[in-house]
A and B are shown apart, each in its own frame.
Chain A
Amino acid sequence: MSIVLRTTGLSKSFKGKEVVSEVSMTIRKGEIYGFLGPNGAGKTTVMRMLTGLVAPSGGTIELFGEPVRRGEVEPLKRMGSMIEYPVFYEHLSAQQNMRLHCDYMGCYDPDAIGEALRLAGLKDTGGKPVKAFSLGMKQRLGIARAICAKPELLILDEPVNGMDPVGIRELRELFRALSKDYGITILISSHILQEIEVLADTIGIIHEGKLVEEVSMEQVRNERTACIEAVTSDARQAAFVIEEQLGIRSFKVLGNDTVRVYDPRIAPSELARALVLHGIGLTSLTRRNVSLEEQFLKWIQGGKSHGDADEARASKN
């Protein structure tokens, strides 16, 4: 799969303070890349650098296989973007704003505007000026504008902000369709983990300006630390058996009856047998997956493993 975007050591400083530091990310053709990070992590600054609005202090950007030089505008012909809050010429209608955009982009397909507005769910706005639009409508119009010139790379910064749940679902379907049916590569940022979890093929985690992880969602799903949750008659006794008899140190005691075991080597049946053999009553035994939220917190807390953290807690108990 060819690479659409690659940054190497991308950095940006404002007034001596580094807000983006050595970000190296790779986005492949046709994939949806979820850019995750807390507010102020540097997502928007990276996106502004990719669209030429902000000049990098260091590092390189490669778009469509070619290095991007400062002030170069050629790659922008193949890109669409909506960064932060979508802004328009407020006294103009949606159609007029779209027509302006198409003329600047050199897109003269007569059906492009109608199709983009239809895809974004905004076909009946008439001559109403944009200043009369709701936030959700502006978000949709911003997305319509970003896709109407049929870009190969779409950069969307928090595109579902201000949308209702129905709208979010519609846009999710739209992004999937743009990726799968039209082959558009999408870089989408969000701090809403669930949104990215169901949409992205690859995720990049940015925290305090640094890309702390870049991984495919398939890998995340496969490697997610699973835990076995055992509800027993005596959690303290169960913890003793788990630690002394089974030699497992990654576990956590919750209350008087529940123990969570994070060691992937132990099978549920083996755990059940050990507990029952030592006379501990077993009410239930379930396998739980760590949510992306927990995984995300793990990544941004400096790669400390779930088991390590819990081991420390378990030792205190």
Chain B
Amino acid sequence: MAMLMRLELRKIRLRNWLLSFAAANLVIAMWVVTNLPNEGVRTFVEAFYSNRSYVEMTFIVFSSVFMSKLVMDEYKSKTVANLFAYPIARSRLLAAKLIVTALFSFAASMLSNLFVAAFFLAANAKNGYIAEPLTSGLLTDEALRIFINAFAVTGVVLLPLYVGMARKSGNAIIVASFVLALGLGGSHDESGHNWTLAAAIAACCVGAGFVSAAFAVRKAEREDIL
């Protein structure tokens, strides 16, 4: 499976994706430091909540575009006919793509949240947007939330796959992810310090994403490639 995943990475322009990822992070970070002071944010908990919302909405869509390129472009360009003529089960080929997508989404969510939070804290130290003291407890809590939310984002990213596979359309994946990002972005964060609820919501997102991916793979296994 590791080899199949490496082959997937060789098909895409990884450098372009990393540059786009860096650019997206810079835009979110700049947006956060210019916009948060005007939103009436007074505590670090509120600020971190806003940061995560922006990051999640951005990377649900960004990772869905990534998945669309990795999966749907094979159908669009018809290279899927070559792919499925290799002596490897279709389920394994598609699983490799989805694991790459999931790892990308998870890493993108984690790294971006950490970067944006660090950027905001650096700007705050200089400009003093928030008056309350920053404690190690606040930072630990935020790190844990970022970790749990990265799972949730990964699950949500996989959700539109079934729609995309049914319609054989990358655009369907992106539109569905956009709707999900608007609907779900940050909403699962309102658990406050209830870690059990936060973990349960993240587990539900991962479970739903997994089920959607499983149905999509099952459909791909049975369909004719014309």
Q: Report which A residues bind B (CB closer than 8 A).
A: 48, 51-55, 71, 73-77, 79, 81, 83-85, 87-92, 96, 100-101, 103-106
User: What is the bound-complex CA distance between A90 and B82, given in angstroms?
Assistant: 13
Q: Report which B residues bind A (CB closer than 8 A).
A: 3, 7, 10-11, 13, 77-79, 81-90, 221-222, 224-226
Do A87 and B77 form a contact, CB below 8 Å, given A76-B85, A104-B7?
Answer: yes
CB-defined A-B contacts under 8 Å, sample of 6: A48-B225, A53-B81, A53-B85, A53-B224, A55-B224, A79-B85
Chain A residue, CB-CB nearest to B6: A103
Query: How far in angstroms is the closest Cβ of chain B from A297?
Result: 29
Q: Which residues of A contact B79 (CB under 8 A)?
A: 87-89
Chain A residue, CB-CB nearest to B223: A55
Chain B residue, CB-CB nearest to A50: B85
Q: Is the CB of B87 within 8 A of A76?
A: yes
Q: Which residues of A contact B221 (CB under 8 A)?
A: 71
Do A100 and B87 form a contact, CB below 8 Å, given A87-B78, A87-B82?
Answer: no
Q: Is the CB of B87 within 8 A of A90?
A: no
Chain A residue, CB-CB nearest to B81: A53
User: What is the bound-complex CA distance between A105 and B77, given in angstroms?
Assistant: 20
The majority secondary structure among interface residues of chain A is loop
Q: Which residues of B contact A106 (CB under 8 A)?
A: 87
Query: How far in angstroms is the closest Cβ of chain A from B77?
Result: 6
User: What is the bound-complex CA distance between A92 and B14, given in angstroms?
Assistant: 13
Q: Which residues of B contact A74 (CB under 8 A)?
A: 87
Q: Is the CB of B85 within 8 A of A96?
A: no
Q: Is the CB of B226 within 8 A of A48?
A: yes
User: What is the bound-complex CA distance between A90 and B78, given in angstroms?
Assistant: 11
Query: How far in angstroms is the closest Cβ of chain A from B7?
Result: 6
Q: Which residues of A contact B7 (CB under 8 A)?
A: 100, 103-104
Chain A residue, CB-CB nearest to B83: A104
Q: Is the CB of B224 within 8 A of A54?
A: yes
Q: Is the CB of B88 within 8 A of A83?
A: no
Q: Is the CB of B3 within 8 A of A89?
A: no
Do A71 and B89 form a contact, CB below 8 Å, given A87-B81, A92-B11, A100-B11?
Answer: yes
Q: Is the CB of B87 within 8 A of A105?
A: yes
Q: Which residues of A contact B90 (CB under 8 A)?
A: 71
Query: How far in angstroms is the closest Cβ of chain A from B151?
Result: 31
The 6 A-B pairs with the shortest beta carbon distances in the complex, nearest first, are: A76-B87, A53-B225, A77-B87, A104-B86, A54-B224, A73-B87
Q: Which residues of A contact B89 (CB under 8 A)?
A: 71, 73
Q: Is the CB of B87 within 8 A of A54?
A: no
Q: Which residues of B contact A100 (CB under 8 A)?
A: 7, 10-11
Q: Is the CB of B77 within 8 A of A52?
A: no
Q: Which residues of A contact B11 (CB under 8 A)?
A: 89, 92, 100
Query: How far in angstroms is the closest Cβ of chain A from B219?
Result: 13
Query: How far in angstroms is the closest Cβ of chain A from B80?
Result: 9
User: What is the bound-complex CA distance between A85 and B81, given in angstroms?
Assistant: 11
Q: Find B77's partner among A48, A76, A79, A90 (CB 8 Å cutoff).
A: A90
Q: A76-B85, A79-B85, A91-B13 are in contact. List 7 more A-B contacts (CB 8 A).
A: A53-B84, A55-B222, A74-B87, A89-B11, A104-B88, A105-B86, A105-B87
